[in-house]
RNA sequence: GCUCCGGUAGCUCAGUGGUAGAGCGCUUCCUUGGUAAGGAAGAGGUCGAGGGUUCAAUUCCCUCCCGGAGCUCCA
């Protein structure tokens, strides 16, 4: 065996020997021609690298094919380069920014004088195909800073990035055909490996995300290995569009906005108000059972309160401006916590009283920049299902545990799987690092002791404390902001909160902020998309619609509607137009149950029940049996 | 807030330098129907607001308001 040969260890433990300077591709070829064709890149000693990179003398090797989880990101990153290649061919003057792979695709930022149009995207797509057909190899080159400056002498944005490299740090560039980019890599072997690339949209994006910097034009796209996967992805986008809560909100008369009311302020129509009220009723029942007490606090409060709380100092840019009454300044509250603290301080508290758990559906107002407003999901006025737990430091872990139970029970009711994130100290924060570290440690300990998996969101905490964020996963796999639990050692300090301990001394309580749904507006907006407007029966604005075959049967039908209503079921009568028409109306209105009554039913005391989305299938039931079934479904908050 | 795109009937949208159309919805009438649109007639619009250019502006220009795709931020 020659001393300069290469030994690679494969995942299955098998060792193969190759000539010096052999690449992962050579290894693949040695294993079989099929693998050599399929290989896209390799993981060598744990690092993802190009397929044609020479291997070290001794290495562990795993070949990456399109079946591996790393493959899509790799493909899309290469697709971004192919996009830039195409754009540069057609627009040589375009400055190149960054072009990474992102969750569902990739983007590339360009500095151009004129923004791109939809027609431009079509032209670029055609050129992308040409670049793919040309099958340019992706070639990696290691360069020094001097050489890199020379290569990118006309690319101001790349030069700026270049200066951030430390002296001696490895700088790599990638070339595919005519295009050269400063890039860490790795890439697929050649542009021909890209097959199914689709450009999706173009929009402005600040250079490096900094609004004081130049605005670039970002092109978003996606890429897949299989045409069917691309088609499925585009279908998912269509599906998301169909579920858009703004569209369904209008169709189902759930909520409205009105320029006369103002941007980012929601008008809840009766149907939407029912959904919201059901959630609030459910949650009240839930939290009262879990030892909470309901409180109410004003919407407008003296500005001095927010000086004490620190909101004026830390949150002012998100607050509505002050209003002046008799020389005193008032503010719309941006959070409910100061009010709840004042209620705590309305009396002397003993350790025997703790934990105290105050809950309020508290409406808050926050200034949000106009560009971020979005339907019900991002607004300027919203109602939080807010609660604050005041307890001793010793009680924190058990309170967190109780909250984890509460969150789990609620999210299960709505059919949301979820993930947990632990968010740590942000740059702008109150309180010492020791206090923060201690608080973060407590949250971490509880999660770990329960064996719950979680991610860490560095710097994602609120200014007054670390938090646990729950992310919901909806019916089409998207993530939503869910419950949050925030630990706060700071506000009790600022307000000088106290309780009398067992030792008859004054002690400072710890405070937990928590929301379950977060904002009623956002949560209901999210639910609309989650259920695609077809709410489960307990949440449906209209639960049963009774359709007499003809007006001849309106009277018994109307009597049955009254009977259902008297049992607490939201039922209505629709007796105009043809039956076909009314069935269609009810289906489009997403009413969960339609009850048809004609001669047969009237004679037999039955109702022909058709389920939403169930087509012509019907079930003839005794009227009382049907009412009982619906009531039971409502009572158990079934997800049907 | 910034870049770009848009705002015409309640909704979805077409259209034009000479003050406007469709479908759905709404109203009325006819139809009395067995599981996703029965038929007819009618009402409904200062073409987002203000200013400018023009003999004439919904149409062209400017400013503002509102919405959308993003950037940044976030419950």
CA A252 / C1′ B2 distance in Å = 34
A562 CA vs B9 C1’ separation (Å)? 37
Strand blocks (E) in A210-327: 215-224, 255-256, 267-268, 293-294, 300-302, 323-325
Q: Pairing mode, if any, of strands A6-9 and A15-18?
A: antiparallel
Specify burial of residue A290 (Cβ count, 10 A radius: 0-12, 13-18, 19+). middle
Which nucleotide in the DNA or RNA is closest to residue A467, CA to C1'? B75
- Report the distance from CA of residue A577 to the C1' of nucleotide B21 in Å, as an integer: 28
Q: How large is the average pLDDT for residues A351-356?
A: 96
Rounded Cα gap, residues A220 and A197, in angstroms:
11
Q: What's the Å distance between residue A261 CA and nucleotide B54 C1'?
A: 37
d(CA A325, CA A201): 49
% of chain A beyond a pLDDT of 70:
99
Which nucleotide lies at the shortest CA–C1' distance from A369? Answer: B1
d(CA A637, CA A462): 34
Burial class of residue A35 (count of CB atoms within 10 Å of its CB; 0-12, 13-18, 19+): middle
Q: What pLDDT, in 10s, does the model give residues A386-398?
A: 999 999 999 999 9
Percent of chain A residues topping a pLDDT of 90: 76
> What is the distance between the alpha carbons of residues A38 and A225, in angstroms, rounded to a whole number?
11
pLDDT above 80: residue A8: yes
Residue A262 clears pLDDT 70, i.e. is over it: yes
Residues of A with a catalytic annotation lie at 337, 366, 384, 386, 388, 467, 513
pLDDT at A98 over 90: yes
pLDDT tens string A469-496: 999 999 988 889 899 999 988 899 999 9
CA distance A613 to A295: 42
Per-residue pLDDT tens digits for A306-341:
999 999 988 899 999 999 999 999 999 999 999 999
- Give the pLDDT of residue A427: 80
A431 CA to B33 C1' in angstroms comes to 73
Residue A519: nearest nucleotide (C-alpha to C1'):
B75
Q: In DSSP terms, which residues pair with A350 in a beta bridge? A: A500
Distance of CA A229 to the CA centre of its chain: 22
Q: How confident is the model at residue A113 (pLDDT cuts 50, 70, 90)?
A: confident
C1'-nearest nucleotide to the CA of A616: B35
Q: Tell me what pLDDT residue A221 has.
A: 93
What tokens appear for A521 in the block?
Answer: 């507006």
The percent of chain A in helix, strand and coil, each rounded to the nearest 5, is 40, 30, 35
Q: How many CB atoms lie within 10 A of CB A213?
A: 12
Interacting residues of A618 by C-beta distance below 8 A, sequence separation 6+: A596, A608, A609, A610
Protein CA at A617 to nucleotide C1' at B29, angstroms: 35
Among A469, A513, A506, A468, smallest CA distance to A338 is for A513
Q: Which one-letter DSSP state was computed for residue A371?
A: G
Residues 6+ apart with CB under 8 A from A158: A96, A152, A181, A182
Nucleotides of B under 7 A from a protein CB: 1-5, 11-12, 31-38, 65-75
Encode pLDDT of A416-439 as tens digits: 999 999 999 888 777 788 888 888
Characterise A111 by phi-psi region: left (phi > 0), alpha (psi -120 to 50), beta (else). beta
pLDDT in tens, A206-240: 999 898 888 999 999 999 999 999 999 988 888 88
pLDDT tens digits, one per residue of A67-90: 998 999 999 999 999 999 999 999
For residues A488 and A510, give the distance between their C-alpha atoms in angstroms, rounded to a whole number: 7
Nucleotide nearest to A618 (CA to C1'): B35
SS3 call for A603: helix
* Nearest by Cα to A339 from A387, A377, A381: A387
Which distant-in-sequence residues (6+ apart) come within 8 Å of A316 by Cβ? none
The chain-wide mean pLDDT, for chain A, equals 92
Q: Quick check: helix, strand or coil at residue A42?
A: strand
To 10 degrees, the CA torsion angle through A430, A436, A442, A444? 110
pLDDT at A283 over 70: yes
DSSP A145: H
Number of CB atoms found within 10 A of residue A231's CB: 13
Query: Residue A622 and residue A571: Cα distance in Å, rounded?
Result: 17
CA A362, C1' B26: Å apart? Answer: 38
Q: Which residues of A139-157 are buried (b: 16+ CB within 10 A; e: fewer)?
A: bbeebeeeebeebbeebeb
B37 C1' closest Cα residue: A581
Residue nearest to nucleotide B25 (CA to C1'): A251
Identify the pLDDT of residue A640: 53
CA torsion sign for A93, A98, A99, A105 is: negative
Please report, rounded to whole angstroms, the spatial distance between the CA atom of protein residue A587 and the C1' atom of nucleotide B25.
Answer: 17
Task: Give me the torsion for CA of A537, A541, A543, A546, rounded to 10°.
Answer: -160
pLDDT at A3: 58
- The predicted pLDDT at position A1 comes to 45
Rounded Cα–Cα distance for residues A360 and A306 (Å): 19
Whether the predicted pLDDT of A516 surpasses 80: yes
- ipTM of this predicted structure: 0.93
Structure tokens at A160: 């700026």
- How far is the CA of A330 from the CAs of A30, A66, A164, A223, A362, in angstroms? 77, 60, 47, 53, 17
> By the 8 A CB rule, do A623 and A608 touch?
no
d(CA A361, CA A520): 9
No. of helices (H) and no. of strands (E), chain A: 20, 33
Task: Report the alpha-carbon distance of residue A19 to residue A29 in Å, rounded.
Answer: 13
Whole-structure pTM value: 0.91
Q: In what order do the strands lie in the sheet with A593-597?
A: A571-573, A544-548, A593-597, A606-611, A619-622
Residue nearest to nucleotide B68 (CA to C1'): A374
Range name among A106-110, A211-215, A334-338, A445-449 with the lowest pLDDT average = A211-215
Q: What are phi and psi of A348, to 5 degrees?
A: -80, 140
Residue A250 CA to nucleotide B44 C1', Å?
Answer: 20
Write out pLDDT tens, residues A20-42: 888 999 999 999 999 999 999 99
Residue for token digits 């002046």?
Answer: A324
CB-based contacts of A371: which residues, under 8 Å, 6+ apart? none
Rounded, the Å distance between the CA of A111 and C1' of B4 is: 14
Taking the C1' atom of every nucleotide in all shown strands and the CA of A114, the nearest one is: B4
Residues A420, A452 contacting (CB under 8 angstroms) = yes
Of the listed ranges A155-164, A234-243, A427-436, A501-510, the one predicted with least confidence: A427-436
- DSSP letters, A389-437, are EEE-GGGHHHHHHHHHHHHHHHHHHHT--EEEEEE---SS--S-HHHHH
Query: What is the CA A503 to C1' B52 distance in angstroms?
Result: 80
Give me the CA A255–C1' B37 separation in Å, rounded. 26
CA distance A469 to A407: 11
């Amino acid at each position: 065996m020659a001393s300069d040969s290469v030994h690679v260890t494969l995942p299955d433990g098998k060792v193969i020997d190759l000539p010096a300077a052999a690449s992962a591709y050579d290894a693949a070829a040695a294993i079989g021609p099929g693998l050599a064709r399929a290989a896209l890149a390799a993981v060598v000693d744990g690092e993802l690298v190009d397929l044609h990179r020479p291997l070290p003398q001794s290495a562990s090797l795993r070949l990456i094919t399109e079946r591996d989880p790393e493959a899509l990101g790799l493909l899309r990153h290469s697709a971004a380069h192919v996009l830039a290649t195409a754009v540069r061919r057609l627009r040589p003057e375009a400055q190149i920014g960054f072009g990474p792979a992102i969750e569902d695709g990739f983007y590339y930022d360009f500095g151009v004088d004129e923004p791109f149009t939809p027609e431009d995207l079509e032209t670029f797509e055609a050129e992308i195909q040409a670049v793919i057909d040309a099958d340019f190899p992706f070639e990696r080159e290691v360069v020094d800073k001097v050489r890199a400056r020379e290569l990118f002498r006309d690319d101001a944005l790349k030069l700026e990035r270049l200066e951030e490299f430390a002296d001696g740090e490895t700088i790599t560039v990638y070339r595919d055909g005519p295009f050269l980019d400063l890039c860490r890599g790795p890439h697929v072997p050649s542009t021909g490996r890209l097959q199914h690339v689709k450009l999706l949209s173009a929009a402005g994006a600040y250079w490096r995300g900094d609004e004081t910097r130049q605005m670039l034009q970002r092109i978003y796209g996606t890429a897949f290995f299989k045409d069917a996967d691309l088609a499925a992805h585009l279908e998912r986008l269509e599906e998301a569009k169909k579920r858009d809560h703004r569209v369904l909100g209008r169709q189902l008369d759930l909520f409205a906005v009105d320029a006369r009311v103002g941007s980012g302020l929601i008008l809840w129509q009766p149907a939407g108000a029912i959904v919201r009220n059901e959630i609030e009723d459910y949650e009240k029942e839930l939290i009262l059972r879990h030892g909470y007490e309901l409180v109410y606090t004003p919407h407008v409060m003296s500005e001095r309160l927010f000086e004490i709380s620190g909101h004026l100092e830390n949150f002012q840019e998100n607050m509505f401006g002050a209003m002046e009454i008799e020389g005193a300044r008032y503010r719309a509250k941006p959070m409910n916590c100061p009010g709840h603290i004042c209620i705590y301080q309305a009396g002397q508290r003993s350790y025997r009283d703790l934990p105290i758990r105050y809950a309020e559906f508290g409406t808050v107002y926050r200034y949000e920049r106009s560009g971020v407003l979005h339907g019900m999901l991002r607004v300027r006025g919203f109602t939080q299902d807010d609660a604050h737990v005041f307890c001793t430091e010793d009680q924190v872990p058990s309170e967190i545990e109780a909250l984890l139970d509460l969150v789990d029970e609620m999210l299960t009711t709505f059919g949301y799987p979820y993930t947990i994130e632990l968010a740590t100290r942000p740059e702008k924060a109150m309180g010492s690092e020791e206090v923060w570290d201690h608080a973060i440690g407590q949250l971490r300990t509880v999660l770990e002791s329960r064996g719950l998996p979680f991610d860490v969101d560095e710097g994602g905490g609120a200014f007054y404390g670390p938090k646990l964020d729950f992310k919901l996963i909806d019916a089409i796999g998207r993530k939503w902001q869910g419950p949050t639990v925030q630990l706060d050692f700071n506000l009790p300090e600022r307000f000088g909160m106290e309780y009398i301990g067992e030792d008859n001394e004054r002690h400072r309580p710890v405070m937990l902020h928590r929301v379950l749904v977060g904002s009623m507006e956002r949560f209901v907006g999210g639910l609309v998309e989650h259920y695609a407007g077809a709410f489960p029966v307990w949440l449906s604005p209209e639960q049963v619609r009774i359709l007499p075959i003809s007006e001849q049967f309106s009277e018994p039908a109307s009597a049955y509607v009254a009977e259902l209503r008297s049992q607490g079921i939201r039922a209505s009568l629709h007796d105009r137009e043809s039956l076909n028409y009314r069935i269609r109306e009810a289906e489009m209105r997403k009413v969960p149950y339609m009850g048809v009554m004609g001669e047969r039913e009237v004679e037999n005391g039955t109702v022909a029940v058709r389920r939403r989305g169930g087509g012509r299938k019907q079930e003839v039931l005794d009227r009382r049996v049907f009412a009982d079934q619906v009531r039971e479904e409502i009572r158990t908050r079934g997800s049907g």
